[in-house]
Structure 1
Amino acid sequence: MTESDGMTAYAVVIPTLGRPSLGACLRALAATGGPGPERVVLVDDRPGPGGTLAADVPPALRTRTVVVRGAARGPAAARNRGWRAAGDVPWIVFLDDDVIPGPIWGDDLALDLATATGRTAGVTARVEVPLPADRRPTDWERNTAGLATARWITADMAYRRAALEAVGGFDERFRRAFREDADLALRMLDAGWTLAGGRRTTTHPVRPAGRWISVRLQAGNADDVLMTRLHGRAWWRRAGASRGRLPVHLAVTAAGATALGCALLGRPRAAAACGAAWLAGTAEFALARILPGPRTRDEITTMALTSALLPPAASWHWLRGQLLYRSIPPRRPSEAGEPEPQPRPAVRERLRS
């Protein structure tokens, strides 16, 4: 790795929970050609004391790598802690701890940054998600593959430090790895900056996940409510985000709840009709998820179980978001470029060789 020039100098910020994938990410970063980072900031966002972060940092990065303790408040807060501790460099490159930068990532990044205009706030990477070649992908694999077409994804996103300072960084009300990237990008655009597509390539492997992952992911419906409160209903179109099946989930959940209520009130015909509507909606949803997949016994079982639980989970989190964010006013365009109060710099812990 070589040194970058002053205009394209950059630091890498990686929020992490100490997953084993962090080592592979750092090894790929060290092995890539082109100018290397001025600093690598690992934000240890594990809850509790945690002890020293077990990071297998390659020798090429060891002297320029620091660990910053996060507050266990999610990736938005962790990235803010990281870029503010990264030093006075023009560019901050955010990486997730489970991505693999490509072999010429550094050279391509240098070109991405060198060709950015003065009003370019950020430059995206091309994210590739490898899928099995010998079978159809599972529901979870198809979900992860959607990252390849997501706009402004912070799995690999370079932001100009001046732009981050101008808008106050990430909105830390987004506590999950969901929508915090779209919110920041929209605020950049509202402040008059532009965003560009880059040429560097990063691989995002499909990480292992349990049977109930799709149910847990429904917590993102609350984040969608926050996005609507902040940016209005047009944010879906501006961010190129999918609306998903929330209206159908609400209808199916309502049918199931009504069927249960009618049964308790001794109205069997109404309960049967609503129950049939719930069953039809659940079956349609399960089939829509089963047919594109490998159709193994385990996958069919998982889809059948989660298709019954997912609509009420989505409805619950949507209602929770409506209550939680009901008093948040819309963000005015003039607010997009106003810096928010910044916390005190985090204490750095330099890795020892």
Structure 2
Amino acid sequence: MADEEHRHLADYLKDVHLTLRKSSAVVGVNTAWLNHISNKDVLSTYAQYMEKLATTHWEKNSSDQLCLASSRIKWSADFAYEYFANKSFMRHREKEIDIGNKINLKTNFENELFSEPFKLLDVGSCYNPFKVYDYLDVLAIDLCPANNSVYEGDFLHVPIETDTIILDNKIKQLKENSFDIVTFCFLLEYIPSSELRIKACENGYKVLKVGGLLLISTPDSKHVGANSKLMKCWRYTLAIMGFSRIKYEKFKHMHCMAFRKCSNKEVAVRWATLHKEPYMAYSIHIPQDYNINNKEENVRCKATSVKVEIEDFRELPFNNLSQTFLK
């Protein structure tokens, strides 16, 4: 059970998210976001509270791997190590080559070169939790860093060009095709609209090397089927960008996903074309997008609350599911 400080910290973070979403509905997403990132007092408090919550309260419960929110960090680091150091990326490369050959697509892996320490861009890092892993070379970025190991920058608007430029502890520019890993750990639900979440993922695609990883974790305390259609829409949208999903796990309080940047984006687009279902659209929505007090949005919310069928689980790892979900 959460103690009083835990609840206070968590409630503040939730209030910031809610205020940003409400502001977006009133003044528009872009204006609301610019207003938000200019409010340094709120951002500073948010960073301090987030670091305190993660390092003091989440890590204290580390014995429960299913409900540990901070395990998003360990999951990402462990998967990255398996993928790069244990060279499982070779298997995914061979699969991509095979698909390309079957549909007459050219694949090029000349730039798919990885060496330890692996370059990781941690977006929305806050306090740089990945710095403890010696096999990672971390560049941590946040709107308002909690400490000096994190650089200030807005990933949604930072230029992506031919070099990474850092001045006065601020990210002025990021180099395209230069990172082995990009992490969005509890980030996308902070961003107030589908359009801006898509922009974040598109920027992630730009800075990643061919074969690089986009690792996403997002909180969700409901059972695996409750938001399965939203998660499928995420997969579809990222496939259209050129990402192939290579790992998905649903834990008690979060989804964890790994996407690989394809050498030829048409390989991923092919998957999206073959698996598109009527409800799928180019969008990255979260359940909170539908919790707005107006009739039009409530109708949309009801439209997404459909009965879960066994067929909905065909893309999900059955070995991780409780059989009670399938009754």
Q: Same fold (TM over 0.5)?
A: no
Q: Which has the higher contact order (CA 8 A, sep 6+)?
A: 1
Which has more radius of gyration?
1
TM-score by length of 2: 0.29
